[in-house]
């Protein structure tokens, strides 16, 4: 069952349409990453889901109930029973960890005994039991992040919304907290929408990713589908490293490339403009390769070398574990390629 359904949502701020007719669903227990560059409409979409904004057009449904429709908030933020984790965390500095987590439970009218039981349980989930009486200023950034998550999930919300929660945390700590977020989400099975511009966050956390650009939803799918089979030029170029070049379709399953004609599935689109797309790891340097080039530069990262190869007037990026020198001629082949259409 879908906990969240966004149907044809449109939102204009000033004279700019920042969300442009987007629709998506999130199943119960699933984490959806809303991924895109700054200013693409991610946070505005999250605010409409939370009930902080009403869509100008379209509908927001939560747990099968209409929460917002055209220019109307049908269900208040409190009635939506949503937990939120903000970029700035918004912890109360004058309250202890225990009091920060307790605040929402008090607002909802839980008894003292119920509050204590829930707080002890949620501190256990985030492995922060021994910090119950500390103040936020005495905690590290990662510990504060875990307390913000604990505060958001202690009320057992229908839906958890997270807006760039790791953007202010350093790289090493980010990896650790990311793993904790995934563990907590999987153990609690809280349906989550996670807004981020960081691809690594999206790939490592998400069951499904929704890629946004300029207010529109470009593609939705599993991380594997988004990476391996992008459906638009934007997704291909924005997500991961990619080689993209314009080619000409010259017949069924044949395209004219800088290296001559190649066989490629033309998807019945003969006569249309097309772009050849392939990832760096789909390129292999080998003596029998059908493409010739010259090594422009070499960089090392994560156990393999990243090369830029000048070939037939263009530059191709590829990965290899072998060492090739700058200006060294090489031959290479493309193991997998796809066509994208404008």
Confidence at residue 220, expressed as pLDDT on a 0 to 100 scale: 97
Name residue, tokens 């707080």.
119
pLDDT (tens digit per residue) in 142-184 = 899 899 999 999 999 999 999 998 887 777 788 888 999 999 9
pLDDT (tens digit per residue) in 302-339 = 788 999 999 998 999 999 999 999 999 999 999 999 99
| Residue 142 main-chain phi, psi, to 5 deg | -65, -40
Of 203, 241, 198, give the one whose Cα is nearest residue 42.
198
pTM: 0.90
Strand order in the sheet with 2-13: 16-27, 2-13, 57-62, 65-69, 72-73
Average pLDDT value for the chain: 93
Handedness of CA 12, 13, 14, 15 (dihedral sign): negative
d(CA 158, CA 36): 25
d(CA 196, CA 240): 15
pLDDT (tens digit per residue) in 247-305 = 999 999 999 999 999 999 998 888 888 999 999 999 999 999 999 999 999 999 878 89
Confidence at residue 98, expressed as pLDDT on a 0 to 100 scale: 95
Contacts 24+ apart (CB under 8 A), 266-270: 266/339, 267/339, 269/339, 269/341
Tell me the HSE value of 308 on the side-chain side, using a 13 A CA sphere.
7
pLDDT (tens digit per residue) in 97-152 = 999 999 989 988 999 999 999 999 999 999 999 999 999 999 988 899 899 999 99
Name residue, tokens 């793993």.
179
For residue 2, the cross-strand partners are 27
């Amino acid at each position: 069952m879908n906990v969240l359904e966004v149907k044809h949502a449109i939102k204009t701020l000033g004279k700019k349409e920042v969300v442009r007719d987007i629709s998506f669903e999130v199943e119960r227990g699933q984490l959806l990453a809303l991924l895109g560059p700054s200013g693409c409409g991610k946070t505005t979409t999250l605010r409409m889901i939370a009930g902080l904004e009403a869509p100008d057009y379209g509908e927001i449904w939560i747990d099968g109930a209409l929460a917002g429709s055209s220019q109307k908030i049908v269900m208040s933020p409190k009635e939506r029973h949503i937990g939120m984790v903000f970029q700035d965390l918004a912890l109360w500095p004058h309250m202890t960890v225990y009091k920060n987590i307790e605040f929402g439970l008090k607002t909802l009218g839980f008894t003292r005994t119920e509050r204590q039981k829930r707080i002890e349980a949620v501190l256990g989930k985030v492995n922060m039991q021994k910090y119950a009486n500390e103040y936020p200023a005495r905690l590290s950034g990662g510990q504060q992040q875990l307390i913000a998550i604990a505060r958001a999930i202690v009320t057992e919300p229908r839906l958890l919304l997270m807006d760039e929660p790791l953007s202010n945390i350093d790289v090493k700590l980010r990896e650790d907290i990311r793993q904790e977020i995934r563990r907590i989400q999987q153990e609690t099975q809280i349906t989550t929408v996670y807004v981020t511009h960081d691809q690594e966050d999206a790939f490592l956390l998400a069951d499904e990713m929704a890629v946004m650009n300029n207010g529109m939803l470009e593609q939705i799918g599993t991380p594997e589908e988004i990476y391996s089979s992008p459906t638009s030029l934007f997704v291909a170029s924005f997500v991961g490293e990619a080689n993209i070049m314009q080619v000409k379709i010259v017949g069924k399953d044949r395209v004219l490339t800088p290296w001559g004609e190649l066989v490629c599935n033309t998807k019945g689109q003969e006569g249309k403009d097309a772009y050849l797309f392939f990832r760096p790891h789909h390129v292999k340097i080998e003596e029998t390769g059908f493409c010739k080039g010259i090594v422009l530069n070499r960089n090392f990262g994560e156990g393999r070398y990243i090369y830029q190869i000048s070939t037939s007037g263009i530059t191709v990026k590829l990965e290899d574990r072998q060492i090739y020198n700058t200006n060294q001629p090489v031959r290479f082949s493309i193991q997998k390629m796809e066509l994208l259409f404008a």
